[in-house]
Amino acid sequence: MQKPMNLSKKKIIKSLVAIIIISTLPACDKTPSEHLQSLTKEKYPVANMPDEPLETPLEINIEPKRLAMTSSWSAGVKDDGTLWTWGTDGLLRETKTGQDPTPRQVEGVNDAVAVSGAGHMLLLKDDGTVWGWGSNYHGEIDPSDGDIFIEELRQIKGIENVVDIAAGEMDSIFLTNNGEVYVLGSNEGGWVNEIPKQLIIPTKVPNLSDIIRIEFRNGVLLALDKKGELYSTGKSERALGRLLYQSQEPEIEYHPAAKVALPKKTIDFSVTSTSAMAVLEDGSVWNWGSNSSDNLALSDSEDIKMPEKNPYLHKVVNIGIHAAVTSQGDLYTWSKYGFGKNKNSISAYTYNKPFLIMQNIDPDQIVYGYLSYAVVTNDGNVWFWNWNENGQRGTGEIVESMEKDYVLTPEKSLFTLN
């Protein structure tokens, strides 16, 4: 019979085990977040590209928005003009549970051109009319209807000849074929016209003309004109990237549209509520605003008031919120990501430099939704990464797991443009 181990031997063995465990752990000066980032970089290398301009200047990206996401569902427009939806709620079709992670066609729509989503979804048709469904809390679809959620596709009145759309959290933005921009909805802080009242009819944004493309998020509007000059307006001082007009009224957040000073023609751009990024014709990336959550792919966390060149991103041809694609077809991402079994057990980690998650793609559009990202490629395919708890990826399944590899690895959707 084996004799019991004495106390001193137990202590020695415990000490040896502790030494072995410690020797296999990361250096003690690394936090759990830093350790996870180091593991991530082994599979997804950090951007390391030469700071060189593209040999051939890029053309302005004015491709229509063919894919969009809200916080719980996605919508896409195919080449034949049909509208498809998937996810949870807002599907414009009957389901047994309100969920369907498989993309399916919405009946009665065969003339769609573009979609844009936030709290609600906008649909642009080929006759220049705009239709909406989803949140109507701020009258962003139909201010005459007190219902806070529109469950059917409904035409937005008072606007026509639209060529581009942008759905915000509380507003709907429209670009008409004469280069003018209009807004319907909350107008929080009077950001559109210096009058802090809801806009019950589409209202023109001052100081914008010859505009060919718009992007909008949570009260910040970027607009690009025919010459490739970028203009900004909205309620967030940090995301505008220029000297500001300040109203004398404290409750008003009005900053009239004015040009953002950039050294070359802008060909692509993205905006959040606190920051923005622009790709210039030489493939360089310029950014400004808040770098909280590493929105700008910079190691320095301080705000950038005026546009500065990003030191890590070069030869970029397409940019979105927290993602960019280079001329070599490399897809990079950055910012905050959450990992855990589900949304109630998430630990968030941030990446302050862009890291590579996919290669050999020809990008058409980068799309951002609440905790979800996607890239649409010119072969008609769509690739999603990060969140899928509501079936937003359109892969035919709902996945609650937020494991690191699943979140960061792009997954091909069942939805295609063709």
pLDDT single digits (tens) 367-383:
999 889 999 999 999 99
pLDDT single digits (tens) 48-99:
889 999 999 999 999 999 999 999 999 999 999 999 999 999 999 999 999 9
Q: Whose CA is closest to 324, among 43, 40, 47? A: 47
- What is the pLDDT confidence band of residue 4, given thresholds at 50, 70 and 90? very low
Q: Report the C-alpha gap between 271 and 232 in whole angstroms.
A: 10
The structure tokens 């505009």 sit at 211
Which helix (H) or strand (E) is 337 found in, with range? Answer: strand 331-339
pLDDT single digits (tens) 143-181:
999 999 999 999 999 999 999 999 999 999 999 999 999
The answer to whether 183 and 171 have CB atoms below 8 angstroms apart is: yes
Q: Report the C-alpha gap between 377 and 239 in whole angstroms.
A: 28
Global confidence as pTM: 0.89
pLDDT of residue 34: 60
DSSP-assigned letter for residue 19: H
The answer to whether 411 and 398 have CB atoms below 8 angstroms apart is: no
Domain spanning 47-412, CATH class: mainly beta
pLDDT single digits (tens) 314-340:
999 999 999 999 999 999 999 988 887
- Report domain extents, the chain: 47-412
Query: In the structure encoding, which two tokens stand for residue 413, read together?
Result: 């959707």
Q: Report the C-alpha gap between 153 and 78 in whole angstroms.
A: 17
Range picked from 10-19, 238-247, 353-362, 395-404 for highest mean pLDDT: 353-362
pLDDT at 185 over 60: yes
pLDDT of residue 348: 78
pLDDT of residue 19: 36
How many other C-beta atoms are found inside a 10 Å radius of the C-beta of residue 28? 6
pLDDT of residue 31: 56
Residues 111-124 have a mean pLDDT of 97
pLDDT of residue 5: 44
pLDDT of residue 14: 39
- What is the pLDDT confidence band of residue 251, given thresholds at 50, 70 and 90? confident
In order, the DSSP letters of 130-198 are EEEEEE-TTSSS-TT---SEEEEEEEPTT--SEEEEEE-SSEEEEEETTS-EEEEE--GGGTTTS--S-
How many other C-beta atoms are found inside a 10 Å radius of the C-beta of residue 82? 16
Q: Which residues contact 8 (CB under 8 A, 6 or more apart)?
A: none
